[in-house]
Amino acid sequence: MKKRLFKAFNRNLKFSTAAVFLLFSTALCAQSVVKYPFQDTKKTIDERVTDLVGRLTLEEKATQMLHDAPAIKRLDILPYSWWNEALHGVARTGRATVFPENVGLAATFDEDLVYRIGQAISDEAWAKYNIAQRLENYSIYTGITFYAPNVNIFRDPRWGRGQETYGEDPYLTSRMGVAYVKGMQGDDPKYLKTAACAKHYVVHSGPEALRHSFDAEPPMKDFMETYVPAFETLVKEGKVESVMCAYNRTFGKPCCGSSYLLNDLLRKQWGFTGYVTTDCWAIQNFYKYHGAAKDAAEACALAIKSGVNLNCGNEFNSLPEAVKRGLVTEKEVDAALSQLLRTRFRLGLFDQQNQNPYSKISEDVIGCQKHIDLAYESAAKSLVLLQNNRNILPLKKDLKSLYVVGPYAASQDVLLGNYNGVSDRLTTVMQAIVGKVSAGTSVNYRIGVEPSAANKNSMNYSLGEAAAADAVVAVFGISGLFEGEEGESTASTTRGDRLDLGLPQNQLDYLRLLKKECKKPIILVLTGGSPICTPELSEIADAILFVWYPGQEGGRAVADAIFGDVNPSGRLCITFPKSVSQLPAFEDYSMKGRTYRYMTEEPLYPFGFGLSYTSYAYSNMKIEKEKIKKGQSVKVSATITNTGKSGGEEVAQLYITDLKASAATPVFSLKSMKRIKLAAGESKDVTFEVTPQMMELVTETGDRIIEPGDFKVYITGSSPSELSIKLGAATPVSRVFNVK
């Protein structure tokens, strides 16, 4: 190093003595930082991990496996909090771009969009991390390891946390989850951008009140066909860095204490090489609820032996005692810790001044215009038009008068969802509407009714005022008051679950009065992270737009849809039943009668459904071969035509039905999807490849096989049911092919 610097000085006499001294001093300083082999970037990660683990006491090893790993000053190791959240934007740590809640993102059916959102979130994560490091803020929610995405299956619409998922379909969930993970983790050959986490592994989907104690025992067919495919895909294709084991038991064992789940299935069969984290304080459940251990030391030993690496919680403080009692060996602790530390090294957290290229991302990306535009695009694509009688929508911007009413018209809470960040620009639906119409349009607003309580005042000005307007936009539905995680829904008496899926009674009563008083068009905007199953709403409203929890730009997107600057193209990622009576028992983890794949009764709205301001037609379906051999793929295609008068995006969906099988098969099963942009009158061909994997049958024992026989393949804009067509979706095209 000295020789190179002096040669440079001799070659270029323009270098001042001070400049050379500065370069020389910097080089020596950089060299002196490497006190220990684990800090040497020239060594392999395995060598660095081995060196670091060998320098730690047993007590230090235990603390480094907690989510709030403390500093080890003698080794120049800073504190690090593994626990951070980024479900739909960097969460719980101040300013960040807020994208639509995940169930809304799933309604876009757009993998590329979710990938770009993952990139944006991880950019903001690094910017915020860099600033926190400068402030020496090492607290919770400041790291670059995230507990997201949630790829549980929204198997039952009563589950309060279903809003966090990508819906009820294992294929759609897999594609959205992989896209998010790839966007979050980056593509640098050496460094991880951030570490994503597939949660909650596995069969974790309510009831919330029982989540710490229930034992999920689905049939093995349902387990392999519905509950685990997304996790498997995120591991094999997405290379997800982390998996979070759930609170509950599955097949009799705590998910965080099941060697079958964490070792046999996850690591040996799927090839997972990252780290397993517990859900937060899940290890307590071993001895409090599951009867799997007598105390904390036994629970820690079971977790380590089963494959856990990181304890979200503080139970691993008992690991030294567990080793002392012979419940687990220090060698086993070392192996678990080594796997965990690899992630910190891959993130560059032990490198000088962090050589991870992503560490150069600056603060100006947080809430930047590019991310604002992305939040708007995702909100606009997530909106689902459920009804549009007489083509009431879109409204004209220069109408004489408009009345905006409803408990969520001026609400910022319904933009945010849960596990959210906060933004300094949150435009409500009411604000956006006011900014959209002509300056000469009279716009008035009242809340009309509270979210969950009947009005105490028998007088209500809003009804008469609404009746006098040319049109009414009524923003109703549910919010985090009614649904969410165990302790976050303050109006819920069922720990955040919705055991009644209808619109809150007081809201319905108000809408009935509004319909009685108002003879003008009523545009009903519904917010929520789960289905609102009140058939009467279709009689009350002329148009119904379901908007989920649409993020910081959701108000603008909704207003643009109402006035025609956005053509709705979202599709339902979960079936809307007519009522709870159509559902199996909440505590039943069999898929029989659940979701569009196994539900035989006619729902209120089907999976994949969503209307548009234009119309589409499917025709000219072709199949490459009508007979193929087992293991071969086959291409199918169709022509999609925009038969309406405005441009739009159609979500073309590929479904397959196994017409004759030795085990129960889904009525329909989504296998692929593509967004197609079409101008009025334009036609485009869409082609899908049906792969052998799409033809697999999951047997009653959970094995995947391909049986000879006939398969029916559909290309359509909604799940191919009679109800979809009756509600206004395009008629699907289909062909049958045979596998020998």
Residue-wise pLDDT tens digits, 529-555:
999 999 999 999 999 999 999 999 999
Is the pLDDT at 11 greater than 60? The verdict is: no
Any catalytic annotation for residue 483? yes
Task: Count Cβ atoms within 10 A of the Cβ of residue 4 and give its class: 0-12 exposed, 13-18 middle, 19 or more buried.
Answer: exposed
Within 518-641, where are the H helices? Answer: 537-540, 554-562, 595-598
CA distances from 194 to 231, 277, 288, 566 (A): 18, 15, 34, 34
pLDDT digits (tens, 9 = 90+) for 249-290: 999 999 999 999 999 999 999 999 999 999 999 999 999 999
Say how far apart CA 103 and CA 153 lie, in whole Å.
Answer: 11
Query: Is-contact 215 252, C-beta < 8 A?
Result: yes
Q: Is the dihedral of CA 732, 380, 549, 528 positive or negative?
A: negative
CATH for 383-574, among 3.10.20.600, 3.30.60.50, 3.30.230.10, 3.40.50.1700?
A: 3.40.50.1700
pLDDT for position 354 = 76
Query: Is-contact 586 210, C-beta < 8 A?
Result: no
pLDDT band at 29 (very low <50, low <70, confident <90, very high): very low
- Inter-axis angle of helices 111-134 and 369-382, to 10 degrees? 140
Say how far apart CA 522 and CA 510 lie, in whole Å.
Answer: 13
Of 118, 126, 124, 123, nearest in space to 95 by CA:
124
pLDDT for position 210 = 97
CA 42-44-49 angle, to 5 degrees, is 115
Query: Is-contact 475 504, C-beta < 8 A?
Result: no
pLDDT digits (tens, 9 = 90+) for 125-177: 999 999 999 999 999 999 999 999 999 999 999 999 999 999 999 999 999 99
Query: Is-contact 374 123, C-beta < 8 A?
Result: no
Q: What class does CATH assign to 616-739? A: mainly beta
Is the pLDDT at 302 greater than 60? The verdict is: yes
DSSP one-letter string for 404-446: EESTTTT-SHHHH-SS--B-S----HHHHHHHHS-TTSEEEEE
User: Mean pLDDT for the chain?
Assistant: 95
Residue with token string 């009820």: 168
Q: Two tokens at 683?
A: 């036609």
pLDDT for position 19 = 41
Is the pLDDT at 8 greater than 80? The verdict is: no
CA distances from 201 to 4, 36, 123, 347 (A): 54, 37, 27, 24
pLDDT band at 87 (very low <50, low <70, confident <90, very high): very high
Instruction: Give the helix/strand (H/E) hosting 683.
Output: strand 683-690
Of 116, 162, 145, nearest in space to 418 by CA:
162
Any residues with CB less than 8 A from the CB of 599 and at least 6 apart, and which?
575, 577, 582, 593, 667
Name the pTM for this structure: 0.95
Of 532, 512, 531, nearest in space to 522 by CA:
512
The identity of residue 315, as a single letter, is E
pLDDT band at 353 (very low <50, low <70, confident <90, very high): confident
Is the pLDDT at 1 greater than 80? The verdict is: no
* For range 730-736, the mean pLDDT: 98
Say how far apart CA 105 and CA 176 lie, in whole Å.
Answer: 8
- Inter-axis angle of helices 554-562 and 369-382, to 10 degrees? 50
Rounded CA Rg of the chain: 28
Say how far apart CA 210 and CA 193 lie, in whole Å.
Answer: 36
Query: Is-contact 99 89, C-beta < 8 A?
Result: yes
pLDDT digits (tens, 9 = 90+) for 612-660: 999 999 999 999 999 999 999 999 999 999 999 999 999 999 999 999 9
Least confident of 17-21, 335-339, 421-425, 596-600: 17-21
The identity of residue 459, as a single letter, is M
Domain spans in the chain, listed from the N-terminal domain onward: 1-33, 34-365, 383-574, 616-739
pLDDT for position 10 = 43
pLDDT band at 363 (very low <50, low <70, confident <90, very high): very high
Q: Is the dihedral of CA 408, 410, 414, 415 positive or negative?
A: positive
Any residues with CB less than 8 A from the CB of 244 and at least 6 apart, and which?
147, 197, 198, 199, 200, 201, 276, 277, 278, 279, 312
Is the pLDDT at 26 greater than 90? The verdict is: no
Say how far apart CA 185 and CA 106 lie, in whole Å.
Answer: 20
Is the pLDDT at 3 greater than 90? The verdict is: no
For 34-365, CATH number? 3.20.20.300
pLDDT for position 697 = 97
The catalytically annotated residue of 483, 497, 542, 560 is: 483
Q: SS3 sequence, 113-137?
A: HHHHHHHHHHHHHHHHHHHHHHCCC
pLDDT band at 352 (very low <50, low <70, confident <90, very high): confident
Is the pLDDT at 327 greater than 70? The verdict is: yes
pLDDT band at 32 (very low <50, low <70, confident <90, very high): very low
Q: Two tokens at 717?
A: 């804009």
Beta bridge partners of residue 57, listed in sequence order = none
Say how far apart CA 609 and CA 720 lie, in whole Å.
Answer: 10
Any catalytic annotation for residue 237? no
Beta bridge partners of residue 622, listed in sequence order = 637
The catalytically annotated residue of 123, 222, 241, 279 is: 279
Q: Are strands 697-698 and 627-628 parallel, antiparallel or unpaired?
A: unpaired
**Phi, psi for residue 294 in degrees, rounded to 5:** -90, -30
CA distances from 110 to 104, 228, 312, 440, 500 (A): 11, 22, 32, 38, 31
Q: Two tokens at 567?
A: 């053509």
Distance of CA 151 to the CA centre of its chain: 7
**Phi, psi for residue 546 in degrees, rounded to 5:** -95, 125
pLDDT digits (tens, 9 = 90+) for 566-584: 999 999 999 999 999 999 9
pLDDT digits (tens, 9 = 90+) for 394-426: 999 999 999 999 999 999 999 999 999 999 999
Of 667, 502, 537, nearest in space to 595 by CA:
667
Any residues with CB less than 8 A from the CB of 708 and at least 6 apart, and which?
630, 738, 739, 740
